[in-house]
Amino acid sequence: MRLLFLLFSLFGATFGYNFLVYCPLFGHSHTKFFATIADSLTDAGHNVTFFTPTIVEKYRNVNYTKSTKDVVHMEPSEKLRAYGEQMVSGDFVRFWTEDSSATEIIPVIELFQNMYNEQAEVMRNNLDFLDDLKRRNFDVIIFESYVFSAYPLMDYLAIKTFIPSLSLTHDVALAQSIGEPAMPSVVSDVCSPFGEKLNIFERAFNAFAAPYIDFVLGYPVHRSFKPPYNVIDIRNLEPEASFVFLNSNPFVDFPRPTLTKTVEIGGISVDLNRLRSEKLDEKWSNILNLRKKTMLVSFGSVMFSKDMPMENKIALAKVMKQFPEVTFIWKYESNDTDSFAKGIENIHFFNWVPQTALLADSRLSAFFTHAGLGSINEVSYLGKPAILCPLFADQMRNAKMLARHNGSIELTKYELADKNQISEAFQKILFDESYAESAEKLAQQLENQPIKPKDLLVKHAEFAARFGRLPGLDPYSRKMSFIEYFLIDVAVLCIVILISLILLFRKLFCVVCSFVIVKQKRKIE
Ligand SMILES: *[C@@H]1O[C@H](CO)[C@@H](O)[C@H](O)[C@H]1NC(C)=O
Ligand SMILES: *[C@@H]1O[C@H](CO)[C@@H](O)[C@H](O)[C@H]1NC(C)=O
Ligand SMILES: *[C@@H]1O[C@H](CO)[C@@H](O)[C@H](O)[C@H]1NC(C)=O
Ligand SMILES: *[C@@H]1O[C@H](CO)[C@@H](O)[C@H](O)[C@H]1NC(C)=O
């Protein structure tokens, strides 16, 4: 028996690959996504190193990975720490009332690029540390596609195979880079506030947003850490990625053409079995038992309910009071709620809520959410009807994406002071059974996906580890010019032929006509 076990483990070891997941610590949801990737590969029997250099200090004490034990940190420089603080203290409060439009995005991307450039500097100043990593002979590196400091790291560690990935649903720039049809006429980019039904201006916005950002910012310049310190040609290297993992799920997202290279693993962070086994403690259970229906209200961990304009709070509380048969659990980050909710018995405020356990409980009727991708995935998998109130970044697109499945209602942040709109949405989501049915149907589909996101991830990562770069998957289309790709030259050729034929027939007609006229003239004479 022991021999068998030994043989088995030997056998297992020869099939284990060494993965490096590089995830600078700057955002909670980003790190969660990459930690799940690391854990999935560890659980499949591989050696995974989770390299997570600190940028934002406050996440440093969170244990993001579970089964992955080889977690490597790196201290930030003063400059990098300052960038991290700048990002966290970003003035998010204004997004309760202001548009987060395309013009907002350029300074944000710029800050991100400066941050990753500085992160690369920190690594360059710690080459001993990297030498240590290099000894682990990684087969594959996985990183967030726009964290470009991964390229000099990959170069220094001599890792040939790489999988740029995205903790968001869709990035037009990345798609175009690997030669995927981006279809801006029907598929919106990640920070676009549009859905799939687009008017001419929205289509124009979609078509020009990515090229404009590329024109203004382009790819950052990263140099090799090794002499002769050549510039790394990221633009030409990126398309050689073996695969690209996206945090979108084809059963939830807008349908679109993709390449074999694009692997959609959205929902991988939702561990249904674990969520269902989570038990609510007595305090929460008692609250769910108070009334027949219960709604959870939460705007996530970046935007706080306490910062929303007072008129919105008053409107929300007044509408909640109109539904005395419903209990409202409101994640509210301060203890001062008397100013707008004094004496309203069916609202329960908490600084923190066990969101997933509540969503997994059959007694919870509906979820009022800011449509962050994490919450969208959870509510989709757990099949709860939802009111989606997106505030900024990718949330507008997320909301449109989920509302398309008829299990949820979109309420814009500008309607949050409008009691009639809120009340109508509450009435529908709580008492119109069709929303719960549609939400449940989507959850069933997600549970019965032909291939589970985790399997997709593990199988493709193993395939990349075994076969390296996959030029066979690289479409020639990405080397074609705009004119060739959209058959504009063919169209011009067709038009030239058509015009020539028309001219030719006209000429013939004239010749025949003059011939006939001459003949008739002769007859008359
Ligand atoms: C995986 O990691 C362990 C411990 O670090 C090491 O002993 C083993 O050789 C590694 N496996 C491979 C395939 O490198
Ligand atoms: C994280 O893991 C470390 C080491 O295993 C442990 O000491 C620490 O208490 C954990 N922290 C949290 C917040 O769970
Ligand atoms: C609210 O009150 C509770 C209990 O008194 C306390 O633990 C918590 O820290 C307070 N929250 C805030 C944001 O002040
Ligand atoms: C949502 O409802 C509309 C209108 O009833 C229907 O046409 C559409 O197919 C539904 N969508 C889904 C995903 O079920």
Q: Residue 498 contacts by C-beta under 8 Å, 6 or more apart in sequence?
A: none
Band of the pLDDT at 102, cuts 50, 70, 90? Answer: low
pLDDT at 2: 53
More confident residue, 377 or 9: 377
Tokens of 463: 């395939």
Summarize the confidence of residues 380-390 as an average pLDDT.
97
Tokens of 400: 């449109």
Summarize the confidence of residues 265-272 as an average pLDDT.
92
Residues of the chain above pLDDT 70, percent:
96
Closest atom of ligand 2 to 63 CA is 1
| Continuous segment of H or E residues that includes residue 263 | strand 262-264
pLDDT at 237: 97
Report whether 339 contacts 321 (CB < 8 A).
no
Tokens of 168: 């968001």
Band of the pLDDT at 45, cuts 50, 70, 90? Answer: very high
Query: Ligand 3 centre from 335 Cα, in Å?
Result: 6
Residue 475 Cβ < 6 Å to ligand 1: no
Strands (E), 401-513: 408-410
Helix (H, G, I), strand (E, B) or coil at 244: strand
**Measured distance CA(473)–CA(462) in Å, rounded:** 16
Tokens of 304: 């706080």
Helix (H, G, I), strand (E, B) or coil at 414: helix
Of the candidates 209, 199, 192, the one whose C-alpha atom is nearest the C-alpha of residue 398 is 192
Summarize the confidence of residues 424-443 as an average pLDDT.
98
Summarize the confidence of residues 440-447 as an average pLDDT.
97
Query: Ligand 3 centre from 352 Cα, in Å?
Result: 10
Band of the pLDDT at 276, cuts 50, 70, 90? Answer: confident
Query: Ligand 4 centre from 406 Cα, in Å?
Result: 6
Kindly report the protein residue whose alpha carbon is nearest to atom 7 of ligand 3. Answer: 351
What is the Cα gyration radius of the chain? Answer: 28
Which of 95-109, 133-147, 222-236 is predicted least confidently? 95-109
DSSP bridge partners of 143: 22, 164
Report whether 236 contacts 219 (CB < 8 A).
no
Summarize the confidence of residues 132-159 as an average pLDDT.
97
Provide the residue ranges of all domains of the chain, joining segments of one domain with +: 15-266+452-474, 273-447, 485-524
pLDDT value at 487 more than 70: yes
Q: What is the DSSP string of 281-309?
A: -HHHHHHHHSSSEEEEEE-TTTS-GGGS-
pLDDT at 98: 85
Class of residue 358 by CB neighbours under 10 A (exposed 0-12, middle 13-18, buried 19+): buried
Summarize the confidence of residues 153-167 as an average pLDDT.
98
Residue 63 Cβ < 6 Å to ligand 2: yes
**Distance of alpha carbon 181 from its chain centroid, rounded?**
18
pLDDT at 43: 97
| Continuous segment of H or E residues that includes residue 70 | strand 70-72
Kindly report the protein residue whose alpha carbon is nearest to atom 6 of ligand 4. Answer: 406
Class of residue 470 by CB neighbours under 10 A (exposed 0-12, middle 13-18, buried 19+): middle
pLDDT value at 347 more than 90: yes
pLDDT value at 104 more than 80: no
Same fold, 15-266+452-474 and 273-447: yes
More confident residue, 276 or 320: 320
Residue 89 Cβ < 6 Å to ligand 2: no
Superfamily for domain range 15-266+452-474: Glycogen Phosphorylase B; (3.40.50.2000)
Summarize the confidence of residues 218-228 as an average pLDDT.
95
Task: Tokens 């800050």: give the residue.
Answer: 111
Question: pTM to 2 decimals?
Answer: 0.91
Residue 250 Cβ < 6 Å to ligand 1: no
Which ligand gives the minimal distance to the CA of 70?
1
Residues of the chain above pLDDT 90, percent:
81
pLDDT value at 275 more than 90: no
pLDDT at 291: 97
Query: Ligand 2 centre from 70 Cα, in Å?
Result: 13
What share of residues in the chain are helix, strand, coil (percent, to 5)?
50, 10, 40
For domain 273-447, give the CATH number: 3.40.50.2000
Closest atom of ligand 3 to 333 CA is 13
**Measured distance CA(288)–CA(363) in Å, rounded:** 6
Query: Ligand 2 centre from 373 Cα, in Å?
Result: 26
Report whether 158 contacts 135 (CB < 8 A).
no
The vertex-404 CA angle with 264 and 378, nearest 5°, equals: 55
Kindly report the protein residue whose alpha carbon is nearest to atom 9 of ligand 1. Answer: 13
Of the candidates 131, 152, 134, the one whose C-alpha atom is nearest the C-alpha of residue 143 is 152
Which residues have any ligand 4 atom within 6 Å of their CB?
Answer: 405-406
**Measured distance CA(331)–CA(349) in Å, rounded:** 6
Of the candidates 245, 10, 248, the one whose C-alpha atom is nearest the C-alpha of residue 140 is 245
